[in-house]
Amino acid sequence: MGKKVLVIEDDRFLSSLMKARLEKEGFSTLQAFDGEEAFGILKQNKPDLIILDLIMPKVSGFELLENISVDPYISKIPVMILSNLGQDSDIEKVKRLGATKYFVKVKTSIDDLITKVKDLLSNTVGASTK
């Protein structure tokens, strides 16, 4: 399989849909359903891209993004936010924490998301470019 994408989304249906579509496009896909589980996966399997929801149980996407931003092992991994939050303040906060792209769920189709993932990963060299 191709580049590795970690989908961090507590909505299991949406997560499974993204996983299936990404794998259909040739990506290797890992899943986490909360921020705590995601951090453990990140430490063991360094993906080429992270798709992150912000509102999750245990550890929020904001907290996880903060942890990612200060960890030299994983801080260079591009992070795409896919969230129901669409306030400018939320978008600015995650960009300050290092998020590469921000998409609001209700405004983004799965096809658009897959296109953005392909574009982003084709323009990066491994996980070291942000």
- Mean pLDDT (the chain) is 89
Residue-level pLDDT at 128: 38
Q: What is the DSSP string of the chain?
A: --SEEEEE-S-HHHHHHHHHHHHHTT-EEEEESSHHHHHHHHHHS--SEEEE-SS-SSS-HHHHHHHHHT-TTTTTS-EEEEES---HHHHHHHHHTT-SEEEEGGG--HHHHHHHHHHHHHTSSTTS--
Looking at the structure, give the CATH architecture of the domain made up of residues 4-122.
3-Layer(aba) Sandwich (3.40)
pLDDT above 90 (res 32): yes
**What's the predicted TM-score (pTM) here?**
0.89
Residue-level pLDDT at 122: 87
pLDDT above 50 (res 43): yes
Contact 53, 9 (CB under 8 A): yes
Digit-coded pLDDT (tens) for 92-126: 999 999 999 999 998 999 999 999 999 999 876 54
